[in-house]
Structure 1
Amino acid sequence: MSRELPWVVSVDDHVVEPPDVWTSRLPAKDRERGPRVVRATCRTEYVTANTVKYHFGGDGPETDWWVYEDLRKPVPQVVACVGFPRESLTMEPISYADMRPGCYDPAARLADMDLNHTEMSLCFPTFPRFCGQTFLEAQDRDLALACVRAYNDWMVEEWCGGSGGRLLPLCLIPLWDPQLAADEVRRNAARGCRAVAFTELPANLGLPSIHDPARYWDPFFAACDETGTVVCMHIGSSSRMPVTSPDAPEGVRMALTFANAQYSFVDWLMSGALARFPKLKIAYSEGQIGWMPFVLERVDNIFRHSRAWAGLDPSITELPSTYAAGRVFGCFFEDDFGIASRAAVGLDRITFETDYPHQDSTWPRTREILERIAAEVGPDELYGIARGNALAMLGMEDPAR
Structure 2
Amino acid sequence: METFPQIVSVDDHTVEPAHVWQDRLPARYREAGPRVVRAPIEEMTFTGGRFAPRMGTPGGDGPLADWWVYEDLRRPLTRLDTAVGCDRDEIRLEGITYDQMRPGSFRVPDRLADMDTGHVRSALCFPTFPRFCGQTFTEARDRELALLCVRAYNDWMVEEWCGPQAGGRLIPLTLIPLWDAGLAAAEVRRNAARGVRAVCFSEIPPHLGLPSVHTGAWDPFLAACAETGTVIAMHIGSSSKMPSTSADAPPAVGSTLTFANCCFSLVDWLMSGVLDRFPALRIMYAEGQIGWIPYVLERADTVWRENRGWAGVAGKVRRPPSELFADHVYGCFFDDAFGLRNLDAIGVGNVLYETDYPHSDSTWPRSREIAEAQMGHLAPDVVERVVRGNAVDLLGLTPDGLWAG
TM-score range, shorter chain: over 0.9
**Comparing 365-374 and 8-17, the one that deviates more:** 365-374
CA contact (8 A) 1:373 1:382 kept: no
Q: Distance in 2 between matches of 1:357 and 1:134?
A: 21
Q: Distance in 2 between matches of 1:47 and 1:83?
A: 23
Q: Distance in 2 between matches of 1:211 and 1:313?
A: 14
How far has the Cα of 1:48 moved from its partner?
3.9
Q: Distance in 2 between matches of 1:263 and 1:276?
A: 20
How far has the Cα of 1:261 moved from its partner?
0.1
CA contact (8 A) 1:41 1:56 kept: yes
Instruction: Indicate the RMSD between aligned Cα atoms, in angstroms.
Output: 1.4
Partner AA of 1:38 in structure 2: V
CA contact (8 A) 2:289 2:332 kept: yes
Q: Distance in 2 between matches of 1:48 and 1:136?
A: 24
User: Any stretches of 5+ residues in structure 2 without a counterpart?
Assistant: none
Tell me the TM-score normalized by structure 2. 0.96
2:164 is the alignment partner of 1:164: no
Q: What fraction of aligned residue pairs are identical, expressed as a percent?
A: 58
Q: How many residues align?
A: 398
How far has the Cα of 1:395 moved from its partner?
2.8
Paired position in structure 2 for 1:55: 54
CA contact (8 A) 1:327 1:393 kept: no
Q: Distance in 2 between matches of 1:46 and 1:229?
A: 37
Partner AA of 1:40 in structure 2: A
Q: Distance in 1 between matches of 2:93 and 2:42?
A: 12
Partner AA of 1:27 in structure 2: P
CA contact (8 A) 2:388 2:401 kept: no
How far has the Cα of 1:370 moved from its partner?
2.2
Matches for 1:158-307 after TM superposition, within 5 Å: 158-162=160-164, 163-212=166-215, 215-307=216-308
Partner AA of 2:303 in structure 1: I
CA contact (8 A) 1:52 1:91 kept: no
Paired position in structure 1 for 2:373: 372
Partner AA of 2:356 in structure 1: D
CA contact (8 A) 2:8 2:401 kept: no
Q: Distance in 1 between matches of 2:212 and 2:314?
A: 14
How far has the Cα of 1:129 moved from its partner?
0.2
How far has the Cα of 1:52 moved from its partner?
4.5
Q: Distance in 1 between matches of 2:313 and 2:327?
A: 22
Paired position in structure 2 for 1:111: 113
CA contact (8 A) 1:272 1:313 kept: no
Paired position in structure 1 for 2:331: 330
Q: Distance in 2 between matches of 1:347 and 1:235?
A: 22
How far has the Cα of 1:51 moved from its partner?
4.3
How far has the Cα of 1:248 moved from its partner?
2.4
How far has the Cα of 1:400 moved from its partner?
6.5
How far has the Cα of 1:326 moved from its partner?
3.8
Paired position in structure 2 for 1:41: 40
How far has the Cα of 1:53 moved from its partner?
2.8
Q: Distance in 1 between matches of 2:13 and 2:293?
A: 24
How far has the Cα of 1:299 moved from its partner?
1.2
CA contact (8 A) 1:179 1:219 kept: yes
Partner AA of 2:33 in structure 1: G
Partner AA of 1:237 in structure 2: S
CA contact (8 A) 1:181 1:220 kept: yes
CA contact (8 A) 1:122 1:170 kept: yes
Partner AA of 1:18 in structure 2: P
Q: Distance in 2 between matches of 1:363 and 1:250?
A: 22
2:356 is the alignment partner of 1:355: yes
Partner AA of 1:29 in structure 2: R
How far has the Cα of 1:49 moved from its partner?
6.6
**Comparing 80-89 and 313-322, the one that deviates more:** 313-322
How far has the Cα of 1:245 moved from its partner?
1.6
Paired position in structure 2 for 1:17: 16
Q: Distance in 2 between matches of 1:283 and 1:165?
A: 21
How far has the Cα of 1:190 moved from its partner?
0.5
Paired position in structure 2 for 1:92: 94
Q: Distance in 2 between matches of 1:22 and 1:124?
A: 17
Find the residue that maps to 2:186 and give its secondary structure: helix
Q: Distance in 2 between matches of 1:255 and 1:317?
A: 34
Paired position in structure 1 for 2:75: 73
Find the residue that maps to 1:82 and give its secondary structure: coil
How far has the Cα of 1:373 moved from its partner?
2.8
CA contact (8 A) 2:122 2:401 kept: no
Deviations 1:20-71 (A, max 9, x none): 0000001111111100111111123437475443221265222211110111
User: Any stretches of 5+ residues in structure 1 without a counterpart?
Assistant: none
Deviations 1:97-130 (A, max 9, x none): 1111000001110110000000010000000000
Q: Distance in 1 between matches of 2:238 and 2:249?
A: 21
Paired position in structure 1 for 2:31: 32
Find the residue that maps to 2:80 and give its secondary structure: helix
Flag the 1:47–1:285 CA change in 2: closer, same or farther, 3 A. closer
How far has the Cα of 1:374 moved from its partner?
3.5
Q: Distance in 1 between matches of 2:375 and 2:203?
A: 31
Q: Distance in 1 between matches of 2:135 and 2:72?
A: 15
Deviations 1:254-293 (A, max 9, x none): 1100000000000000001110000100000000001111
CA contact (8 A) 1:271 1:313 kept: no
CA contact (8 A) 1:270 1:313 kept: no
CA contact (8 A) 2:8 2:354 kept: yes
Flag the 1:208–1:6 CA change in 2: closer, same or farther, 3 A. same
Flag the 1:313–1:183 CA change in 2: closer, same or farther, 3 A. farther
Deviations 1:2-24 (A, max 9, x none): 42100000000000000000000
Q: Distance in 2 between matches of 1:234 and 1:49?
A: 19
How far has the Cα of 1:367 moved from its partner?
1.3
